[in-house]
Structure 1
Amino acid sequence: MQFVKITPDEFEKFTTENFSHYTQSRLNYEHLEHDYNNAHLLGVKDDNDEVIAAGLFTEARALKYFKYFYSQRGPVLDYNNIALVNFFFKSLTSYLKKHNCLYVRLDPYILENLRNADGEIVKSYDNRILINTLESLGYKHEGFTVGYSKTSQARWLSVLDLQGKSEKQLLKEMDYQTRRNIKRTEEMGVDVCTLPIEETDRFFKLFKMAEEKHGFSFRDEPYFEELQQAYKGNASLRLAYVDLTKYLSNLTTKLNTLQTQLSEVESALEESPNSKKQKTKHTQITQQLNSTRRKIDDTENTIKSDGEILDLAAAIYIYNDHEVYYLSSGSNPKYNPYMGAYKLQWEMIKFAKAHGIDRYNFYGVTGDFSEDAEDAGVQQFKKGFNADVEEYIGDFVKPINTAAYTLGKAIGKL
C-alpha cells in the first residue's frame, strides 16, 4: 500500500463507487481549491495502483502560525479493514506534520445505531474496535453527543429508505395525516418550481422566517448562493407556491358541480321525502357547499390583500449518486394552511426515485426524543414520512503539535 495525493478524477471515481457524503465530492474539492486554495485529496493505493481509500481534507489557520485540518464526513474507506485504517491514519500524521498542522478533526460517515423515529434501536453497529484503533493512533473520540453543535456536523440524521419501493408504497407507509396533507396540496393546486440563483432572495426571505420562528441564526444569503455555485447542477433551490387564480377557478368548478348534485338530491327527496340515503347525501353536499363557499371567500380576500401568487415554502437541496439531502428550508407561517412543506418533500422524494437515488436524507435532528425536545415538531414532521433516525459515530480529534495544541486549549483560542 502507498499513501499518496490522488487526482480529482481518481477521487470522483472512488466516491461515486463507494457510499459517501456530498461534502466528500469532486465538486466540493474544486470549489474549495478554486475559491480558497485550502483542499487536499489524500488516499491509499494498493499494489495494483487502485485507490482503496480517499479523503477530502480542508485546512484553516489556527493560532496564527499553524493549520487546522478537517475531513468532513470523511475520509472514505472500509473502516472494518483495521490494517487499512492503521496505515491511512499513521501515514496521514506524517503528511500533516509536513504541513504545519496543529490538529485534525474527523467525523466519518459511519453508523453507530439505526433507530426508529421514536428513538428505539432497530440495529446496532459495534464500532468499539474502530474507536479503540483510532484512539490508539492518538484520536480522541468526542463522545456520543445529543443536540445541535456549532462546531460539529449533526450526529443524528433522519433518513427515508427508498430502495425497492414504488411511489405508491412510499405513500402507503407514511402516516395518515401526512398522506392526507400531500393530497390536499394537490387539490389546492400547490406546485413546486426550481428557483434560479438570481432568485435566491425568494428562498432567503422564507428562510429568515424560519430563523425568527425557531430563534436561531445560521447563514446569510451569499452563503446559499455560494453553495449553489459550488455544487453546480447538483444543488438547487425549490419553491412551493400556489397560484390563487387557478385555485379559485377550481373551487368555482367544484361549487358548480356541488350545486348540480344538490339539485339532483333535492329532486329525489321530493319523490321520496323519507329516504335516509338522500337525506344523508343532502347533508353531506350542503356541508361541502358551505365549505367551498368559505374557501372561495377566503381565496378572493387573500388575492386582494396578498396577490395571486403566494410563496409558501422553499428549501435548498444537494444530491449525489447516493442521497438527496434536504439541507435548509423556510416557510411563511401565514400560509401554513396550504402545506407547502409537504408538497416540497413529496416532489423531491419523487425526484430521488426518478434519478435512481435510494436515500432521501431529511438531515439533522437532535437525538433528543422527549416531548420537550427543541426540535420535537421537526421530528414529528419527518416521522410522518416514515423516516428512520440514523445515529453516527461522532467526531475524533488528534493533536499533531501537542504542546501548541495544549496551550491553545488552555488559553481558549481553539
Structure 2
Amino acid sequence: MLLDVNDKALTQEYDDFIAQSEFGNFYQSRQWSEVKNNWKRHYFYIREEGEIRAAMSVLSVTDSVAGKDFFYASRGPVCDLYDLNTVKALIEEVREYALEHNGFLLRVDPEVKHDEELVSQYAKEGLHFLKNPALTSQPLMSLILELKGRSADEILMDLTKGTRYEIRTSYRRGVEPYVAERSDLELFYKFMVEMSERQSIGHRPLDYFKRVYDAYGET
C-alpha cells in the first residue's frame, strides 16, 4: 500500500517501524529523501493484523537517456528477507506502481548476510542478485564491526597489528575525535577534498554533506 504522507498518524507509525525494525536502515528512513532532494519519493508498506509488517522507501529520478524514471529502494525492503512471500508482494506492488508512473527500472539492494541458499530461492522466483559491481548502486559487500556490548580495548584488539599501530600513533600526534557541529562541515570538507585528491577518487559536494547533517544531525 502507498503511504499517504498527509496522514500524520500513519506516517509516524511508518517512521517508527523503520527506526525500530531489526531490518531497518537509515537509507530507508524518510529523512534520506531530504538528502536526495532532487528525487521523487514513494513509500510502501504491508499491514498484517493491524500492524505494519514490511516497508520499502523508494526514490525515483528521470533518466536523461531513457527518458523514463529509475526507481531505487536503497538498502530496502525493511522486512525479513527470508519471508519470500512478503518480499515478493511488496516488490510486485512497487513494480506495478513504477510501470504506471513512467518507470523503466526498479532496483532493490537489501543488506543481508550472504547465503547461497537464499540467493537460489530468490532466483527460483525470478529475482536475481547482481554480481557485477558496475551494475549496482551500493557496494556488493559490507564489512560490519560489532560495537554493542564491547569495550574500546576489546574492539581495538580485534583489529590488525598495523591498524592498531596507526590508531595509537594518531593519538600520539595529537589527533582527538570529537562530536562536530554543523559549522565544522567546512573543515571536514577540506579534509575530504584532500583525501579524494590523494586517493584519486571522487567526492560529494559540500551541500550534500550539509543535507546529510540537517537530515540526521539529531539522531
Pick the TM interval, shorter chain: 0.7 to 0.9
> Is the Cα–Cα contact under 8 Å of residues 77 and 87 in structure 2 kept in the other structure?
no
The alpha carbon displacement at 1:44 in A equals: 0.7
> Is the Cα–Cα contact under 8 Å of residues 185 and 209 in structure 2 kept in the other structure?
yes
**Higher Cα Rg, which structure:** 1
Give the unaligned 5+ runs of structure 1: 114-123, 235-414
**2:72 and 2:121 mapped to 1: Cα distance?**
23
> Is the Cα–Cα contact under 8 Å of residues 44 and 52 in structure 1 kept in the other structure?
yes
**2:25 and 2:97 mapped to 1: Cα distance?**
24
2:18 is matched with which residue? 15
Residue 143 in structure 1 maps to residue 143 in structure 2 = no
Equivalent runs, 1:181-260 vs 2, <5 Å:
181-234=166-219
> Is the Cα–Cα contact under 8 Å of residues 20 and 109 in structure 1 kept in the other structure?
no
1:284 is matched with which residue? none
**1:204 and 1:212 mapped to 2: Cα distance?**
12
**2:16 and 2:159 mapped to 1: Cα distance?**
35
Equivalent runs, 1:329-348 vs 2, <5 Å:
none
**1:215 and 1:8 mapped to 2: Cα distance?**
42
1:165 is matched with which residue? 150
CA 1:49–1:172: 2 relative to 1, 3 Å: same
Higher relative contact order (CA 8 A, sep 6+): 1
> Is the Cα–Cα contact under 8 Å of residues 197 and 228 in structure 1 kept in the other structure?
yes
The alpha carbon displacement at 1:153 in A equals: 0.9
Which string of whole-angstrom CA distances, capped at 9 and with x for unpartnered residues, describes residues 47-78 of structure 1? x2211110110111135753221111111122
TM-score by length of 1: 0.46
Which string of whole-angstrom CA distances, capped at 9 and with x for unpartnered residues, describes residues 318-342 of structure 1? xxxxxxxxxxxxxxxxxxxxxxxxx
The alpha carbon displacement at 1:36 in A equals: 4.2
**1:150 and 1:222 mapped to 2: Cα distance?**
27
> Is the Cα–Cα contact under 8 Å of residues 111 and 125 in structure 1 kept in the other structure?
no
Over the residues paired in the alignment, what is the CA RMSD in angstroms?
Answer: 2.7
**2:209 and 2:199 mapped to 1: Cα distance?**
19
The alpha carbon displacement at 1:166 in A equals: 2.3
1:127 is matched with which residue? 119
Aligned-residue identity in percent:
22
Query: 2:131 corresponds to which letter in structure 1?
Result: F
1:54 is matched with which residue? 55
Runs of 4+ in structure 1 off by over 4 angstroms are none
1:116 is matched with which residue? none
More strand by proportion, 1 or 2?
Answer: 1
> Is the Cα–Cα contact under 8 Å of residues 112 and 125 in structure 1 kept in the other structure?
no
**1:15 and 1:204 mapped to 2: Cα distance?**
30
Query: 1:186 corresponds to which letter in structure 2?
Result: Y
TM-score by length of 2: 0.82
**2:148 and 2:123 mapped to 1: Cα distance?**
30
CA 1:82–1:64: 2 relative to 1, 3 Å: closer
More divergent stretch after superposition (63-72 vs 155-164): 63-72
2:76 is matched with which residue? 74
> Is the Cα–Cα contact under 8 Å of residues 11 and 26 in structure 1 kept in the other structure?
no
> Is the Cα–Cα contact under 8 Å of residues 68 and 104 in structure 2 kept in the other structure?
yes
Residue 97 in structure 1 maps to residue 95 in structure 2 = no
Give the unaligned 5+ runs of structure 2: 5-9
Q: Aligned with 1:26: secondary structure?
A: coil
CA 1:85–1:193: 2 relative to 1, 3 Å: closer
